[in-house]
Amino acid sequence: YRGLKGVLKKLNILAMVVVANVIDELLGQTGAIRTLTIYYICCNEGISVLENLSAMNIIVPDWLKKKLVQVKMDVENGSSNS
């Protein structure tokens, strides 16, 4: 069950990128929506990894946590000036 859940999550991520790319194409964009979608996904996954490392009592640099959260917030606000 866990393996299937992981595969479905990865397929969902791929579907989000495909949909974002289609939206870019329909709007005549140069990949901005797709790129922001990928940044958002990467930040979410990165934050999740850092949370898991912290749960295992592995030291994670504060600057890395702050940077990932900042990039995620920038993407949510529609800015990519990180």
* pTM of the complete model: 0.74
How far lies 23's CA from each of 10, 11, 16, 18, in Å? 20, 18, 11, 9
User: How would you classify residue 57: left for phi > 0, otherwise alpha for psi between -120 and 50, otherwise beta?
Assistant: left
Residue with tokens 């990894």: 49
Per-residue pLDDT of the chain (82 residues; tens, 9 = 90+): 878 998 999 999 999 999 999 999 999 988 999 999 998 899 888 888 888 888 899 988 889 888 888 888 888 887 655 4
